[in-house]
Amino acid sequence: MKELLKVQNLRKTFKISAKQQKIQKTKERIKVAVNDLSFTAYEGEVFGLLGPKGA
């Protein structure tokens, strides 16, 4: 099969506001959304990525 897409060690972070820090009861300014995600997509494959709440 032909490799069409390869993702290695993907990381995505967001800065959170002071209001959101208060809601989450944290002093952390950075929220990690994705950490160390790796995958390969091959020709002819169909797939989806779902988060913990289906997003």
44 CB-near residues (< 8 Å, 6+ apart): 1
Q: Tell me what pLDDT residue 53 has.
A: 82
Q: Tell me what pLDDT residue 51 has.
A: 80
Q: Is the pTM of this model over 0.85?
A: no
- Give the ranges where 1-55 is alpha helix by DSSP (H): 18-24
Q: Tell me what pLDDT residue 49 has.
A: 79
pLDDT tens sequence for the chain (55 residues): 899 999 999 999 999 999 999 999 999 999 998 999 999 999 999 888 788 887 7
Instruction: State the DSSP code for 25.
Output: T
Instruction: State the DSSP code for 32.
Output: E
Q: Tell me what pLDDT residue 47 has.
A: 81
Q: Decide if 32 contacts 51 (C-beta within 8 A).
A: no
